Amino acid sequence: MTYCVAMRLRAGLLFASDTRTNAGVDHIAQFRKMHLFHIPHQREIVLLNAGNLATTQSVVSLLKQRLTEEGPNMLNVGSLYDAAVLVGKTLKEVVARDADAEHGPSQGVDFGANFLLGGQIKGEGPRLFHIYPQGNFIEATEDTPYFQIGESKYGKPIIDRVVHYETTQLPEAAKCTLISFDSTIRSNLSVGLPIDMVLLRANRFEEPMKAHRVGADSAYFQQLRKGWGEGLRKVFEGLPDEPWFET
Looking at 158, 191, 193, 209, which residue binds a copy of itself (CB under 8 A)?
A: 158
> Residue 172 CB, nearest distance to a copy of itself (Å)?
6
Binding region for a copy of itself (CB under 8 A) out of 23-31, 93-101, 132-140, 226-234:
226-234
Determine, following the binding rule CB under 8 A, whether residue 220 of this chain makes contact with a copy of itself. yes
Determine, following the binding rule CB under 8 A, whether residue 178 of this chain makes contact with a copy of itself. yes
Looking at 35, 90, 183, 193, which residue binds a copy of itself (CB under 8 A)?
A: 183
Binding region for a copy of itself (CB under 8 A) out of 2-10, 96-104, 107-115, 229-237:
229-237
Determine, following the binding rule CB under 8 A, whether residue 215 of this chain makes contact with a copy of itself. no
Q: What is the 3-state secondary structure (H, E, C) of the chain?
A: CCEEEEEEECCEEEEEECCEEECCCCCEEECCCEEEEEECCCEEEEEEEEECHHHHHHHHHHHHHHHHCCCCCCCCCCCHHHHHHHHHHHHHHHHHHHCCHHHCCCCCCCCCEEEEEEEEECCCCCEEEEECCCCCEEECCCCCCEEEEECCCCCHHHHHHHCCCCCCCHHHHHHHHHHHHHHHHHHCCCCCCCEEEEEEECCCCCCCCCCEEECCCCHHHHHHHHHHHHHHHHHHHHCCCCCCCCC
Q: Which is nearer to a copy of itself, 97 or 212 (CB)?
A: 212
Determine, following the binding rule CB under 8 A, whether residue 166 of this chain makes contact with a copy of itself. no
